[in-house]
Structure 1
Amino acid sequence: MDDAPLFDPSLDGWVQRNDEPGFIEMAGPIWERRGDDGLILGFVVRPMHCNRRGVLHGGMLMTFADQALGLSAWEANAGSPQATIQLDTHFIAAVDVGEFVQAETRITRKTRSLIFMSGSIHVSGRVVATAQGIWKTLQKERNEN
């Protein structure tokens, strides 16, 4: 990509997430907004997100899918602790630097201890990946005082 400016999500109604420190900081910033069906996440592809070919790295796309589906599952689970126990990602198309990637997610099934999620990841209306996963509800930590 040449020196064209990157898309600025804040000018289109997106709000930057303030996630806790850790691995996801390296993948961000991650943006969010509410859609008719719930939380939508997005990020602008930067050179640091790319592979040797100069397109979005599959690992970054999987990290984003895990974050998007996991946050939606967490919200559906009233903020209870949880862990990803399975994540399947299918890559469909390449994504270039400067493009804005969005994830829309949905719950496909929920039990007492598991949440089954699916989602589509797209850029400007074209699907670039799909993902399905399972999140396990964990017991809340007990206060040992």
Structure 2
Amino acid sequence: MDDLARFVESLLKQEESIIKYLDFKVLEVNKGFARIEIPYKKELCRRGGVIHGGVIMTAMDITGGIATFSVNDGIDQVTQELKVNFLEPMYKGPFTVEGKVIRKGKTTVIVEITFKDVEGKIGAIGLGTWYIIKDKSIEANKG
């Protein structure tokens, strides 16, 4: 794990409790690229011992968000769209998720994301759009 990946993982675990809960590890972050690892745990599985599709989408959303973060020239970002095609059931972990920025515009970033098992088999592929926030941050209504 490189220094940037260590920093991003630490920040995310402080800011986004789902990352800590799901035990995701940030392996690599470079400009326009991110790779994370997800363990195989029965708590993340659906019937039949395969990783739940919602967990796969969450991992892909997080990975695409990290890749976007690496090129974000604004102050925040949100997922605008995420389309995922599930190709194979995933049950051989740990799993690797890679996100690669394929286009950065003024307010949006497009990321291609793959979810693979320990043998390198692609279980899902996705395409996501992240909206870059330039002038205010997104916060939950705490009232």
TM-score tier by shorter-chain length is: 0.7 to 0.9
Q: Does 1:102 align with 2:102?
A: no
State the shift of 1:44 in Å: 0.8
Aligned-residue sequence identity (percent) comes to: 20
Pairwise CA RMSD of aligned residues? 2.6
Match of 1:47 among 42, 50, 53: 42
Deviation for aligned residue 1:27: 2.0
Report if aligned partners of 2:68, 2:111 keep a CA contact under 8 Å in 1.
yes
Q: Sort the Cα spacing of 1:29 and 1:110 in 2 relative to 1 into closer, same or farther, 3 A.
A: closer
- Superposition map of 1:10-49 within 5 A: 17-18=9-10, 19=12, 20-34=15-29, 38-49=33-44
Identify, as 1 or 2, the structure richer in helix. Answer: 2
Instruction: Report the Cα distance in structure 1 between the residues aligned to 2:74 and 2:25, rounded to whole angstroms.
Output: 19
Q: TM-score, normalised by structure 1?
A: 0.76
Alignment gaps of 5+ in structure 1: 1-9
Partner of 1:5: none
Measure the CA separation in 2 of the matches of 1:93 and 1:79.
Answer: 36
- Distance in 2 (CA, whole Å) between partners of 1:25 and 1:34 is 18
Q: Which position in structure 1 is the counterpart of 2:112?
A: 118
Query: 1:25-53 deviations in whole A, cap 9, x for unaligned?
Result: 32223332357x84311111111100122
Per-residue deviation, residues 71-111 of structure 1 (Å, max 9, x unmatched): 10111114730000100011111112x61111122112111
Structure 2 counterparts to residues 3-14 of structure 1, below 5 A? none
Structure 2 residue runs without a partner (length 5+):
138-143
Report if aligned partners of 1:31, 1:43 keep a CA contact under 8 Å in 2: no
CA distance in 2 between partners of 1:46 and 1:23 (Å): 15
Larger radius of gyration: 1
Instruction: State the SS of the aligned residue for 1:67.
Output: helix
How many residue pairs get aligned? The number is 129
